Homo-oligomer: A and B are copies of this chain.
Amino acid sequence: MSVFSEKAGNNLEAVRSTKPLIHNITNFVVMNFTANALLAAGASPVMAHAINEVEDMASFAAALVLNIGTLSNEWVESMIRAGKTATGLNTPIILDPVGAGATPLRTQSAKRIIEETGVSIIRGNASEILSLGHQESLTKGVDAMHTVEEAAATAKKLAAELGVTLAITGKTDLVTDGELVFSIEGGDTLMPTVTGTGCAASALVGAFAAVDEDMLSAAATALAFFGLAGEKAARSAKGPGSFMVALIDALYTITPHELRAGARIVEA
């Protein structure tokens, strides 16, 4: 029996009715796809990175999503500035540490954002997440080298250590706040063949966190929603191109009722 099923549907309903403004400082590769995923889900995306604008934008956003996919020093400064504004306003901050562990710049930037802003949720693959703790980890590009299974034990400890909710995606997704751990089934093998599916997941976690004060259920229900969309999209896809298109369609057409019935979140 799925946990949070009712809440999943309620969160989707709330996103569609309140259209929360999600401020994204994200990478060049996925900006379009991320904005379209948020729009399809019902949220209002805005992308803004200028150092002299991010505080204004963050101040009226319902959630802030920071993604270090094509980072540079200037962008990290903007992320931290926006993050401080969001922190002061108790606005949820979602960090996507793309490629953390792969290069010193990425690992250090992710760690700096965690230290200097009040990150609520970190969404990444296992190797990215592991690189943020003391445990050493090598990342091959943005691909995961560790399975969610390998990461599960460490995740709970790491969430407690970092004082955040962790959302670790892979074949099975894992969400933990350091005390409770939930696993989420869903998605499709085509998911990692499209760039930015992880980044879109992070943005959707942001949209759900904008309408759900409980970061654990926000993250779990957003991932259940995204996983269900992936399953639905895979049914009509002929490859990664048509999958990407069908995924956006699915984020738009899945009803709260469908999500309540299809969410597969269980205590791990």
Contact = CB atoms under 8 A, between A and B. Distances in A.
Given A21-B141, A40-B240, A103 B252 contact: no
A223 to B, nearest CB: 20
A57 B244 contact: no
Interface in A79-105: 99, 102-105
Contact of A105 (B52, B69, B251): B52
Contacts of A102: 46, 56-57
Contact of A45 (B195, B245, B246): B195
B40 A69 contact: no
A143 B142 CA distance: 33
A50 B29 contact: no
Instruction: Give the size range of A's interface with the partner.
Output: 35 or more
A48 interface: yes
A241 B195 CA distance: 15
Nearest to A196: B32
A242 interface: yes
Contacts of A32: 29-30, 32-33, 195-196
A72 B50 contact: yes
A184 to B, nearest CB: 23
A123 interface: no
A48 B141 CA distance: 10
B247 A36 contact: no
Given A193-B252, A242-B245, A104 B40 contact: no
A37 to B, nearest CB: 9
Given A29-B47, A56-B102, 14 more contacts: A21-B140, A39-B193, A39-B240, A45-B141, A46-B102, A46-B142, A49-B70, A50-B73, A57-B103, A239-B249, A241-B244, A241-B248, A241-B252, A244-B245
